[in-house]
Amino acid sequence: RPHPAMLRALPRLRALPLAGLLPRLAAAPAASLSLSSAPPLRRLSISRSPPLATTLAPARQLPQRRAFSSGGGEPQVLEVPQMGESITEGTLVAWMKGAGDAVAEDEVVCQIETDKITVDVRAPAAGVIKSVSAEEGETVAVGAPIAMIVYGAEAAAAGGKAEKPAEKPAEAKSKAAAPAAPAAPPPLPAVEAAPATPTYASSVAESGDRRVKMTRMRLRIAERLKSSQNTAAMLTTFNEVDMTALIALRKEFKDGFEAKHGAKLGFMSAFVKAAAVGLMEQPEVNAFIDGDDVVYRDYVDISVAVSTMTGLVVPVIRGCETLDFAGIEKTIADFGVRAKTGKLSIEEMQGGTFTISNGGVFGSLLSTPIINMPQSAILGMHIIQKRPVAVGDKVEIRPMMYLALSYDHRLIDGREAVTFLRRIKVMIEDPRRLLLGIDL
């Protein structure tokens, strides 16, 4: 309800000429009007105050909040990424960053080991890890949350520059009240120490067995190898190859090959190419059994066994029937580097039609390799060793290598297996056949 004084002043305000009032009001933009009950019109007073623009301070510009900024930014969930079509979980083997650590964009936060590869989980943007929700050794499923990260460059900078927390007042007070430590006594004169008595009992007591959980990759390797032995009717045939011509070829052209192609010329490219030729000529060795059917391939994708710290991996060289020596050597070199750093993808280790394993790099003289299912055969290379061999009617010392071909006898007969292995032997002993693509 209006105040009674305002109601009594209304008639006089209506009678007041506006022509004289408006100029006075215009001259005082921030004027304050006060009305009293008696007499209303004469008590009307106008007091000038500074203009509004000078009285009010400029509006403070509020900082615009960017997405993922540290200023009140909400933590975002870091989830276990997709690691392949057939992989649904893995084991978190190591945290590279912990709670409170700053991370850069694409920096590795943790590593998850699967039965095939070790996957690096990377930060999608710069920020600070607020908390982790999975421990090392824990099994984590694809899509499960493993950490909370506050994203933003400001958060990362703040996390990187975090200082040691200030000392609590209570602690400072206690330290101040603590008496000074007495001075250390002067050192005693040096005395020749008696010879230490060997602690044989302690050594025996400390020795013993250690139980270490198998990694996912080792478990998967064990499962696949045993399954191969239980499934395939595995048989191995052997031969030996004279490496004289291939060694001479490599010695003569290795420098020029590396200068032109940027990759070293090794022996593996010759064996891969020879195997590709033999597989196209003996399609049963390149096929596999699927239920009651035999699946033949008109292409050659050779898996090359590479040993790593975590186990054996078999990346696949695609289209070996169309590659030359340079293409094969570049691919093998790239696989070797990325296998040691765990950068191989699952897709690069799937779909091979044949496998070559070179145990000779570790000094193996002879072995019987196990088939990499569902493939039907595997070639084992071994160490090059000088041995006396009959060359014509003479005995000569030649660099020799044993070759072993393990094959699934359910699909491959002895004729095809022996023919395939001898074909490799002939082409390695005369590399001109490989380079020219003809039989000499």
The alpha carbon of residue 184 and the mean position of all alpha carbons in its chain are separated, in whole angstroms, by 53
Tokens standing for 125?
């943007």
Active site residue 408: no
Q: SS3 sequence, the chain? A: CCCHHHHHHHHHHHHCCHHHHHHHHHCCCCCEEECCCCCCCCCCEEECCCCHHHHCCCCCCCCCCCCCCCCCCCCEEEECCCCCCCCCEEEEEEECCCCCCEECCCCEEEEEECCCCEEEEECCCCEEEEEECCCCCCEEECCCEEEEEEECHHHHHHHHCCCCCCCCHHHHHHHHHCCCCCCCCCCCCCCCCCCCCCCHHHHHHHCCCCCCCCCHHHHHHHHHHHHHHHHCCEEEEEEEEECHHHHHHHHHHHHHHHHHHCCCCCCHHHHHHHHHHHHHHCCCCCCEEECCEEECCCCCCEEECEECCCCEECCEECCCCCCCHHHHHHHHHHHHHHHHCCCCCCHHHCCCCEEEEEHHHHCCCCCCCCCCCCCCEEEEECCCEEEEEEECCEEEEEEEEEEEEEEECCCCCHHHHHHHHHHHHHHHHCCHHHHHCCCC
Rounded-to-integer distance, Cα 94 and Cα 109, Å:
9
If we measure between CA atoms, which residue out of 16, 66, 64 comes closest to residue 39?
Answer: 16
Q: Which of 106, 255, 324, 413 is catalytic?
A: 413
Q: Which of 101, 334, 409, 430 is catalytic?
A: 409
If we measure between CA atoms, which residue out of 353, 308, 315 comes closest to residue 334?
Answer: 315
Query: Are the beta carbons of 416 and 256 closer than 8 angstroms?
Result: no
Rounded-to-integer distance, Cα 437 and Cα 440, Å:
9
β strands within 243-353, DSSP E: 288-290, 293-295, 302-304, 306-307, 312-313, 316-317
Active site residue 409: yes
Rounded-to-integer distance, Cα 75 and Cα 131, Å:
9
Q: Which residues are catalytic?
A: 409, 413
